[in-house]
């Protein structure tokens, strides 16, 4: 069975042709077939087979083929002359034996291609000085009806060119023979080397050529989100926020029931599912920053701390809320919660390009604000552990991180970078009071963290998770 050729031209095509977009000024193929794409099987949704998921022209939800092309062009343009970027796919991970986890593509390969299959490899070769002077090679699995009968469909080599707009496609099994020819012609190779035990890692090392890390170059692109990316994150935040607010309306006896409710609410409302394993921490367990056992109880008189968020179009949101199990804060809970909320609101307001602040500088503002608020609550003059400040003990994590395709997005991209319009970050101050006699008695054992995902704009931040209520009056009014 032939896959459809997407005619990359300005002239009309036959009806039912899958044309994800037209590459402007770079016509490559000038032919088409009348077979409908809706009759074919691909390794991931396309508009013709999944119109309930994708709009015309989109490769993944909200992101068009043209945007993916533009990302590759920008990466190629950032490379030195005649350089090559190599991006291997993620590998299937196994839970035990033959039981595997759902596959998730390596984020940089996903960002640049939208291709969602394992056993794949993208090569982007800069061929000239202009923005569109590059070649895109995609290695992947060829169609195999017998294998696909067992594992489900994959896209194949023709779709690599016609759907994902590769200039050339190759059988991934032939990468050890073909890839060296491409790389030897390059002046410089950029790659984040996979382990030597993998076929690609072995192949690259056998060439005995020096390589440069690719991650910093891709980070520079991924860190500033496009309008389409922000829209996806806003949708993830909107649905996730409403699910968390809905959860606050109900009493919960068991952490696992609240966990399961959020997973269901995210998916039921149109997200692909949870973005990460949530924290659902009743009472004193909220003091453990990444508590994910979620197997204990939520007791009257305590608070529950929930760090959860969903994913839409592979973009995530990261939200934390703390609320009273009974629906009403005790006086001490309200005082500590209000102190953290005041600082959180202040730090969110600093997420604007005109302020010129970095995440590190906002963190220092959070520490100063929390120290000021805690002094008002009687936390001044306390004995600290040797080598630790009071803030090290009560606020042991950073106020925020970048967020996007990953919960902790663009790893290695510094928190000292001044925030610009399009940066998306979390703002999550917290206070975790040890249960010991050094601290005011009525606050001992309490934990409060409040977190929103925020998009930096020129003059005012965009709170991507505003639907998750956080004012004391609003939380208590839910029940």
Which of 85, 79, 78, 76 lies closest to 183, judged by CA?
85
Q: Which residue has the tokens 């090290």?
A: 392
pLDDT in tens, 431-442: 999 998 889 999
- Please state, in angstroms and as integers, the Cα–Cα distance from residue 38 to each residue in 3, 19, 47, 150, following that order: 11, 12, 8, 21
Q: What is the reported pLDDT for 7? A: 32
pTM, to two decimals: 0.91
User: What per-residue confidence (pLDDT) applies to 106?
Assistant: 96
Average pLDDT over residues 261-281: 97
Separation between Cα atoms, residue 424 and residue 382, nearest integer Å: 36
- The per-residue pLDDT for range 143-198, each reduced to its tens digit, is 999 999 999 999 999 999 999 999 999 999 999 999 999 999 899 999 998 776 67
Q: What is the pLDDT of residues 371-410, one digit of tens each?
A: 999 999 998 866 666 667 888 899 999 999 999 999 999 9
Q: What is the C-alpha to C-alpha distance for residues 423 and 333, in angstroms, rounded to an integer?
A: 33
Between residues 426 and 195, which one has the greater pLDDT?
Answer: 426
The pLDDT, as a whole number, for residue 12 is 29
pLDDT tens digit string along 324-377? 999 999 999 999 999 999 999 999 999 999 999 999 999 999 999 999 999 999
Where do the domains of the chain lie? Answer: 56-222, 227-477
Name the class of domain 56-222: alpha beta
* pLDDT given for residue 380 in this prediction: 80
Question: Given pLDDT bands bounded at 50, 70 and 90, which one contains residue 419?
Answer: very high
SS in 3 state form for the chain?
CCCCCCCCCCCCCCCCCCCCCCCCCCCCCCCCCCCCHHHCCCCCCCCCCCCCCCCCCEEECCEEHHHHHHHHHHHHHHCCCCEEEEEECCCCCEEECCEECCCCCCHHHHHHHCCCCCCCEEEEEECCCCCCCEEEEEEECCCCHHHHHHHCCCCHHHHHHHCCCCCEEEEHHHHHHHHHHHHHCCCEEEECCCCCCCHHHHHHHHCCCCEECCHHHHHHHHCECCHHHHHHHHHHHHHHHHHHHHHHCCCCCEHHHHHHHHHHHHHHCCCCEECCCCEEEEHHHHHCCCCCCCCCECCCCCEEEEEECEEECCEECCEEEEEECCCCCCHHHHHHHHHHHHHHHHHHHCCEHHHCCEHHHHHHHHHHHHHHHHHHCCCCCCCCCCCCCHHHHHCCCCCCCECCCCCCCCCCCCCCCECCCCEEEEECCEEECCCCCCCCHHHCCCEEECEEEEECECCCCEECCCCCCCCHHHHHHCC
Q: Where do we find the tokens 């291609």?
A: 113
- Cα torsion angle, 389, 414, 290, 286, sign: positive
The CATH classification number of 227-477 equals 3.90.230.10
């Amino acid at each position: 069975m032939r896959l459809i050729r997407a005619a990359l031209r300005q002239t009309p095509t036959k009806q039912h042709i899958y044309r994800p977009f037209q590459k402007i000024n770079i016509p490559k193929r000038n032919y088409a077939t009348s077979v409908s794409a809706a009759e074919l099987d691909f390794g991931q949704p396309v508009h013709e087979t999944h119109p309930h998921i994708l709009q015309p022209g989109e490769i993944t939800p909200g992101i068009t083929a043209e945007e993916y092309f533009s990302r590759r062009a920008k990466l190629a343009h950032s490379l030195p002359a005649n350089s090559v970027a190599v991006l291997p796919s993620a590998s299937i991970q196994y839970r035990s034996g033959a039981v595997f986890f759902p596959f998730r593509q390596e984020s940089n390969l996903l960002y640049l291609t939208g291709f969602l299959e394992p056993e794949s490899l993208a090569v982007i070769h800069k061929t000239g000085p202009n923005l569109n002077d590059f070649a895109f090679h995609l290695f992947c699995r060829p169609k195999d009806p017998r294998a696909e009968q067992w594992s489900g469909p994959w896209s194949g080599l023709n779709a690599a060119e016609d759907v994902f707009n590769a200039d050339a496609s190759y059988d991934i099994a032939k990468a050890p023979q073909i890839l060296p020819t491409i790389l030897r012609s390059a002046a410089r190779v950029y790659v984040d080397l996979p382990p030597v035990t993998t076929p690609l890692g072995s192949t690259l090392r056998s060439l005995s050529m020096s390589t440069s890390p690719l991650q910093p170059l891709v980070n520079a692109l991924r860190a500033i989100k496009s309008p389409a990316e922000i829209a996806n994150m806003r949708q993830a935040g909107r649905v996730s926020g409403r699910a968390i607010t809905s959860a606050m309306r109900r009493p919960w006896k068991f952490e696992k029931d609240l966990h399961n409710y959020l997973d269901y609410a995210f998916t039921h409302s149109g997200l692909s599912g949870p973005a990460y394993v949530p924290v659902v921490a009743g009472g004193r367990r909220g003091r453990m920053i990444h508590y994910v056992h979620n197997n204990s109880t939520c007791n009257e008189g305590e608070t529950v701390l929930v760090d959860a968020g969903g994913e839409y179009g592979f973009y995530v949101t990261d939200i934390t809320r703390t609320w009273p199990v009974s629906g009403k804060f005790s006086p001490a809970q309200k005082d500590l919660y209000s102190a953290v909320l005041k600082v959180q609101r202040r730090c969110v307001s600093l997420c604007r390009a005109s302020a010129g602040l970095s995440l590190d500088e906002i963190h220092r503002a959070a520490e100063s604000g929390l120290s000021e608020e805690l002094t008002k609550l009687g936390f001044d003059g306390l004995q600290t552990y040797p080598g630790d400040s009071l803030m090290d003990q009560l606020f042991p994590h950073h106020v925020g991180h970048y967020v996007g395709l990953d919960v902790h997005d663009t790893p290695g991209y510094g928190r000292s970078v001044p925030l610009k319009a399009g940066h998306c970050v979390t703002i999550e101050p917290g206070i975790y009071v040890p249960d010991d006699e050094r601290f005011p008695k009525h606050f001992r054992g309490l934990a409060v963290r409040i977190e929103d995902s925020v998009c930096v704009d020129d003059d005012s931040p965009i709170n991507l998770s505003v639907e998750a209520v956080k004012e004391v009056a609003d939380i208590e009014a839910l029940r």
